[in-house]
Structure 1
Amino acid sequence: MTEDHQDKFTVYLDGHEGHRGNVLLHAFISKIQRLETVLGKMERAYLSVPSRQTQFEIVAAAKVNPTSLTLHAVPSAQNYDPKPAFQWTMRQIRAVSDGVEPDERVGLDIAKDLEKLSARDTNTGYKAFWINGFAEKVLFDENFHANAARLAFLRKKQIPDQQWQEGKSLGSIVGELKKLDDFEHDREFVIVPAVGDPVICIFPDAMRDEMGSFWRKVVRVTGILQYHASSPFPARVEVEEGGVQLYPEPAPRRTLAQMRGVFSGLRRPDVNWNSLFDG
């Protein structure tokens, strides 16, 4: 391995014949976003920190089929070397691809993300999806998807029984809306509450046009909250129609007509205007 490839990798998507060998934009962006999410979660798991320390620079791109994007891991925090966490992450992804159990820090949440990352696109947006660079080629195909699903099942079995109640309930949660994803008509957004992990929310189709107005704002989300056995906090929300509101809700402004008489009954103070004018 050369020094030049210790903190770089390339993402490839092979175009589908139905689109003259071209990759559909929504498929490419969706896979890149989901891959970035996985890399961020795995880095946090490796470092045991609440926020990501690495960003990825685009250092090369090519359209000649397959479409490719080469990414370079760079620090987003001072005095931080992203190579150890990046290389550890790539080794764990390689292990899942080979059907080998990865490090125990690759938990249930990450396993489910890997399973979703490798899920086949049913809209023929691409034909194949893989990464290469630091480690050997990893193909996100049916084999990888099956391995990720088995890992998720194993991690779920490792969670102590009766730790938390699993199920659904009607309720609400407050947090900052950080991510909005509708590239594959997923109708997803993510809010980050004050405590607990980020929560994936699925909004109804009728709310599609208004969701952009909530971007990066604190909102209250109301709907069916889904809980997993691994946490006391909700992991997913099926949002009811109209179930996203700014928090706290802005108080309605009163009109001048509504304010008429608001000072009635109050004593008018005596003011010596002459002293003011005379200085």
Structure 2
Amino acid sequence: MASLGSEVDYLVEDGVAVLTLNRPDRRNAFNRAMLAGWAAAIDTAAADPEVKVLVITGAGKGFCAGVDLEEFGGVTETLQRRAYLADDVHAVGRALEHFEKPYIAAINGDAIGAGMDMALMADIRLIADTARLSQGYVRVGLVPGDGGAHMLPRMVGEQRALELMWTGRFIDGTEATELGITMASHPAEELMPAVMELARQLASGPPVAIRTIKRLTRIARTQTLTDHLVHAAAEQAVIQSTEDSREAVTAFKEKRTPQFQGR
């Protein structure tokens, strides 16, 4: 396993890797060390055939308070600030861009600014009803620097996204779910059990098909329907030739639970 450092915890069990941001005294605000460990954990999960699903959450009461302003405040030169974002902060997004397995965010506490953007990068987001989200950049005179202006309008529409980014106001778990930012809101003590139930369900499914579904969904953002159908037909032909596909059909006929072996 790659060296992930002390700022993140990484545990694998039953096909599910849980990545926990571990700076609770800073509400899991990220510094360079955490960002490096976070990106390395994603790469580790991608390369491990035993990992079928990756879950991200935070230690303590916060999910992620965004950039650690104490560290970022010490970066004073313009080119250094740009490099901090491009080389360090955006390393997580780049790692996720190539991560084909399901990535689930368990938003256990506040996700603010870039912390909210990091949560938006997940495929599925579940949130504690006590947690809050905020595009808080504007409150410190900044603009969304970690993909928020790209991702949020696709989830809630441009009008609502602009309102959230312009005001930086906090929304709770209930409103986040009503807006479609999160899939479900749970009492805090029920969040991780709900996330792990979903993660284990996905981990028990046919891994090649699940990864392909994610790939098809992503690439559809830039395809015409005609192009997408051609792509889907090619992927389907490959999937139908896999042992997992044959096992699923056999299990269906035999009225039993399929046992998938794909990687």
Taking structure 1 as the reference length, what is the TM-score of the superposition?
0.24
Larger Rg: 1
Higher helix share: 2
